[in-house]
Amino acid sequence: MRGRQTVRDMVLSMAVIGAVVAVIYMFIPHDDKADPVKTVDYRVELLTARRAAPYPVVAPEGLAKEWKPTSVSYERADADAWHLGFLDPDGEYVAVEQSTAPAGKYIAKVSQQARETGKTQQVGGVAWRLWEGPKYDALVREDKGSTTVITGTASPERLAELAAALETKKS
């Protein structure tokens, strides 16, 4: 008789706990329609990078508001690596990557192992090399002392759109 009471008490306790959890869930506000993507303000990091980097740091100017900046970093100790990530209007990832690291390894790293196609694309009067990969595609430009990579899951048109918006002006 004693064993039955213990099982019965456990089942009743679980039912009470389940009811309390259900009530709490119903009264805690949650918005299922809210955008889970958090945007970042990258102005301070951009100013810092432009002052510290030994190359002209680029950032987009005049992109539509549907482009959402989602990540930013500048790592001086990591070959002066500048990163600025976005979600494009189609919800795809696009990033601007710049560094003084050796180009071959750096491009492969930030483009998720994309490979050079041997083709170029003119964007805003500048020739960018096309890279394609299993995960990311990329537009690559090597300048004196640095490499700039526009990469991500976005379409080639969106990569070019971001590349065309890049500016190097001092903030």
Give residue 102's pLDDT.
94
Mean pLDDT in residue range 92-98: 97
Structural domain includes residue 143? yes
In a domain, 29, yes or no: no
38: in domain: no
- Which has more pLDDT, 15 or 28? 15
Tens digit of each residue's pLDDT (9 = 90 or more) over 118-151: 999 999 899 999 999 999 999 999 998 899 999 9
Q: What is the pLDDT of residue 38?
A: 86
Model confidence at 170: pLDDT above 70:
no
Residue 78 lies in domain: 43-167
pLDDT in tens, 31-47: 666 667 789 999 999 99
Residue 3 belongs to some domain of the structure: no
The answer as to whether 9 is a domain residue is no
Q: Which tokens is 15 given?
A: 């039912």
111-122 pLDDT, tens digit each:
999 999 999 999
Number of domains composing the chain? 1
d(CA 58, CA 60): 7
DSSP 8-class letter at 28? S
Among the listed residues 130, 123, 146, 137, the one whose alpha carbon sits nearest the alpha carbon of residue 57: 146
Does residue 97 sit within a domain? yes
118-153 burial: b if 16+ Cβ within 10 Å, else e: eeeeebeeeebbbbeeeebbbbbbeeeebbbbbbbb
The domain spanning residue 117 has which CATH number? Answer: 3.30.200.100
pTM value surpassing 0.85 = no
132 inside domain: yes
Strands 93-99 and 115-123: unpaired
162, part of any domain: yes
3-class DSSP state of 158: helix
Q: Which residue has the higher pLDDT, 8 or 154?
A: 154
Q: Tell whether the model's pLDDT for residue 154 goes beyond 90.
A: yes
